[in-house]
Amino acid sequence: MVLCIPKAGVSVLLIALSSSIAIAGEEDRPFTFSAVYTGEAWGNARGGMENGTRYLHNIDLTLEADLSFAGLEDTTLFVYGLHTNSPEFSGDLVGDAPNDYKTNLELGYRAQLTDWLAVQPDIQYIINPGAVSGLRDALALGIRLEIGTTF
């Protein structure tokens, strides 16, 4: 449990669930799923909604798969989703025209090409970026290179 002190009132943020489940029929076929929920236990000591106070609920979902079983040695596929929901985002935190949710979806792939080089392309889709009305959904593409060696 985390205690936050905003401009006015008191918020108590509850981290209710954090778990990882490893599913593996054999050691060379691991799949990992994790789910984390973060939400309000008590939003305001005086009650009700108030500017400057965070009213927030997050759901994080992650799935990772080692693709070695498919012949792709040292390769990992991951899927990540984050959904942020609030009955009323505070205008002090997000601007003038807030939506009540924001969703991020991410798909990535990491391949170890040599013992010193790995590449990781990534795609993200953001629904209601910043939880602000009027912004179009966003698509982000990226690539990460890891270059290194051990002496």
CA distance 19 to 33: 9
More confident residue, 7 or 77: 77
* Identity at 116, one-letter amino acid code: W
CA distance 135 to 67: 37
Q: Name the token pair of 49.
A: 């909604």
Q: What is the pLDDT of residue 30?
A: 75
pLDDT, average across residues 79-108: 66
pTM, two decimals, is 0.51
Q: How many structural domains does the chain have?
A: 1
Q: What is the pLDDT of residue 46?
A: 59
In which domain, by residue range, is 25 found?
A: 2-147
pLDDT, average across residues 120-144: 84
